[in-house]
Structure 1
Amino acid sequence: MFRSPSPNLRRLLIRYFSSSSSSFSPSPPFSTSHPLKTHSPKSPLSLPHFTPIKTLASLPSKPKSTDEQIAQLLSTHLLKSETNDNPDEPTKPSLTLHQRLDLYFSNISFSPELLLQTLNLSPSAGRQILSFYHWLSKHPNSFKPDDDSLRHFIEHLGRNKDFKAIQELLVQNRGIAGEKCFKASIDRLVRAGRPTQAISFFDNMEKDYGFARDRGALLVVVSALCDHGFASHAERLVKRVADAFFPDESICEILVRGWCVDGKIDEARRLVGEILRGGFELGTSAYNSLLDCVCRICRKKDPFRLQTEADKVLVEMDIAGIPRDTGTFNVLITNLCKIRKTEDALKLFERMGEWGCSPNAETFVVLTRSLYQAARTSEGDAMIDRMKSTGFGEALDKKKYYGFIKILCGIERVDHAMKVFTRMKKDGCTPGIKTYKLLIGKLAAHGKAARANALFFAAVNNGVPVTPEVYKVDPRFVKKPEKKKEKKRETLPEKMARKRKRLRKLRLSFVKKPKKGMRMAY
C-alpha cells in the first residue's frame, strides 16, 4: 500500500513534525502558572498546595503511524489557501494544489483507509476535495477509484451540502459507482432536508448515473425518507411506482414506521387499516413502531397514561395474533426509563421470560443508564456484570462507557465515574479525548487537583491530544474556612444571671430527692 516516500515528502515530514513538537510545549492543567481558581464575592481561592512533578515536554508520547502522518500533511494542504507563503519573495507566484500534491505526494499509494483519514481531518476543505479527486484521477498508478473510495468523497461533499460536486463525481465515474455510492447520495440528500431531490434522483438514476432502478433501490429511498421524517413523500412515491414495483410487506412496515417517526399516530393507524384491508399481514416490527409512537406521545402530553395506552396496543397485538419479541420489551423499558420509572422497567425486565423473550445488549444498556441516573450505582454495576455474563460484553464499546461516565458526572458521582473509567480500560476500550476532558474537568470542579493532574499526564502518555486549561472549582465543593469563636466580654447583667443560675444549681444539689417507687405515708 505504501511505497518509499520521495525526498521532498521526507524533508516535509521532518520539518513539519520538528516544528510542531518544538512549538507545542504546554504546561500541565494545574501548574503554578494556571492554578485552579474559583471566584468568590471577596477574593479568589486557589489550591497552592499542589505542585506538578513533571512537565509535559518530558512526557513520552506514542509515535504516529505513517498513514496518520501522511493524512495530516494532506489535510494541511487541502485546508491551505492559494497564497504565497514566502514573505521574502512576494512577487513569486504561489503553487496551486495540484502542483503541491505533485511535489510531495506523487509516490504515495492511496487506499480507502488513507482517504477516509484525510477527509475526516479536512471538514472545511470545500471544493478543494473535488480538486483533490481530480488530481487523484490523473495518477492511476497511485489511485484506482472503486465504489468504496468514491463513497467517502460523496459523504464528505454531502456533509457540506455540495450536491453539484456529487453529481459531477457520479457522472465522471459512471459504471464505477455502485450500491454504496447510491446509498450515500440518497442518505445525504434526505439528511439535508431535500426529499424532492432524492425522489428525482431515484427517477433519473438509470439514465443519468447508470444505477439499476429496481426494488432494492426503491427500498433504500423509502427507508431513508421514513427514517428522517418524510413519510408523506415516501407514501406518494410508493403509490406512484406501484405499477412497476408492487409494494410488499416490508415496504408497508417501513411506511408505518415512517408515520410513527413523524409522531402522527392517526395517519399510521389509517395506513395500517388500508394494509390489512388490502390483504397484507403486518409483523411485530410495525406494531412495535405503533407502540413506540403511542409511548412518545404520552411522554410528551400525559406521562401517567403511558402504561394504560401501551396496554391497549399490546391487547391489539394479542387480538391480531402478533407475538411479542425483544423489540417490544425494549420499547416499553426505554420509555419507562425516560419517565424515571426505573423500578417498573426492572419488573418488566424480569418478566420477559414469560413471553419467551430474552434481553439483548440494548436492554442492558438502557437499564444501566437508568440505574446510574437514579444514583443506584451498585445496581448499575451489577447490570453491567450481568450483561457480560449473558454474552453481550462485546457491545460495551467506548461510546457506551462514555455515556455511563457522562451520566455519573452529571449527578456529581465523580468517584464512581472513575471506577467505571477503570473498568472501561480493563475491558480493552481505549478512552478518547472527550472522556479525558470530561473527567479532568469534573475532578477539577470538585477540587481534586492531584487526581485531575495525574489523569492529564496519563492521557498525554497514551497519545491523547488533551490541552491544558484553567478550570474553576465549583463553589459548592470549596472548603469554607472555619470561623474562630472570639470570646465576648460579658456585660454586668449577663454575669449576674450566670451567677444566679450557678447558685440555684448548688442549692438544689443539697435537697434530698425522693426515691423512685417510694409511696408517701399517710
Structure 2
Amino acid sequence: MRTAMRKLISPQLKEPRQTPPLGILAPASTPMLEAFPTPLPTVSLVASTTQPQLLAFLTTHLRPPITPQTLLHFLKNKLHYHPKFTPLDFHIFQWASTIDSYRHDHNIYEWMVRTLAISDRFDALRVVLLESMPSKPCPCSDGIFCCPRIEAIFRFAINSFCRVGKLDDALVAFDTMRKLIDGRASVLVYNILIHGFVKNGQLDKALSLYDRLINDRVMPDAFTFNILISGYCKSLMFGSALALFKEMRAKGCEPNVVTFNTLIRGFFMDKKFEEGVAMAYEMIDLGCEISSVTCEILVNGLCQVEKTSMACDLLIDFVKKGVLPDGFDSSDLIERLCCESNVGRALEVVDEMWKKEKAPSFIACSTLIEGLRKFQRIEEAMTLTEKMLKEGILLDSVTFNCLLQDACRLGRTAEGDRLRLLASSKGLAADAMTFKILVSGYTMEGKIKEGERLVEEMLDREYLPDIASYNRLMDDLHSKKNQARSR
C-alpha cells in the first residue's frame, strides 16, 4: 500500500495523465504548496502542508484494497472535511485511475462531477467528462447497455456550464453524452441547454437546438415551449411567440399557467391589453387555474397604463366566477383607486372579495381605511374595521387610534369605544393614547360616567404616571358637565 501511495507523489508522475493544466507533482521532499497547483478560490491550502503529511494522511485513512466504495468514503468523509487536503480531491481521483486493479464506478464519477461543478473547477470538470468517462467507463457499461447514471451525471454538469455561461462547453458535453448513452437524450437535457441559450440572449441558437430536438424525435414538453415563448417575448417577437403557442397545442402539449403568464405579459408589453385579458379568459376556459402571478400581471399592468377601471372590472369578475386565487394581494389596486379619489370603487372591490370569502390582505384594508378617512367617510371606515376585527385582521395601533379620533370628532365616541373592546378581544391591546382619545371624546359629549369609567381603567392599567394626571382628566370631565349646566 505504501508503494502505491508513493506513486501519487513520486517523480515518475510529474504530469498526471490527462491533467496537464492542473499542475505538476514534485518529489517527496518538495513542499506541498510547490508540488500542487495554486489553491482555488473556493478552498484554501495551508502553506505548511508537505507531501509526507499527505502520504501519512492517505496511509491512515485509505487502506488497501482500494475499491470505488472505499475511495468514495475517503473522499466524502475524510478528505472533503480536511482544510489542508480538500483541494487535492481531483488529483487523488486521477491517481486512483492509474491503479491497474481499480476502476471508477458511476458513484465516484457522480460525486466528483458534482464537487467540481459546485466549486467552479471547470477545467478539471472537462477532464472528467470528456476524457475519463469516455475512456474509462463505469463497470456498468461492460454489458450490452450503458451505465444508467451517465445522463444524470452529464445533466448536472451541463446545467453547471450553462449557469456560468460556458455554453460551448455545455454543447461539447452534450455531444459526448449522446455518444455514451443508449437511445435518445432526455428532453430535460435539451431544456437545460435551450434555457441556457435563451438566458444568455442567444435565441437563434436555442431555436436551432429546438430543431435538433425535433429531428432527434424527442418529444418537447411544456417547459421547452415556455422557455422559447419567453425568449420570443424578451426579444419583442410577440407574433412568433403566439405562433409557437399554437404549435404547442397542435403537438398535443397542454399549456400551463407559466405559458399563459408569459404570453399575457408579452401582450401587455406590446400594448395589446384586450388580447392579454382575452388570453386570461381562454386560460379559464381551458380549465387552467389562474395564479396570483397571473392576477398581478393583469391588474398591475392595467393600472400602470391608467386602466384602473378595467382592472377593477376584471378582478370583480374573477371573484364572481370563483377563479381568484387565494393569497392574491389587491393592495396595489386599492392604493391606485384611493390615489385617484375613487375610494367607493375600492370599497366595492373589497366587499366583493369578502362576499366570496376571499378576505383582502391587511395592507389592502389599511390602505382603504386611510383612503376612507381622507375623504371623511368615517362610518364606512368603522364598518370595515369592525369586519376586519371579526375576521382576525388587526390594524396597527396608529391607524386604529386615528380612526377613533375621527369617530370622537363626529360625536361617535361610544361606537369607537365598542370597537376598542372588540379589538382588545381579538388581541389588539389599547394603549394610553387610545384611552386618552376616548376620554376626550366622552368629555366633549358630556358623558361623564363613561369617561370616568375609562379614567379608572387607565389608572388600573398604570397608564397614568401620577395622581395629578388622574385629577386633571377628572376635572376636565366635570368642568365640561358644569359648562353644560350653566348654559
Which category of TM-score, normalised to the shorter sequence, fits these structures?
A: 0.3 to 0.5
Which has the higher Rg, Structure 1 or Structure 2? Answer: 2
More helix by share: 2
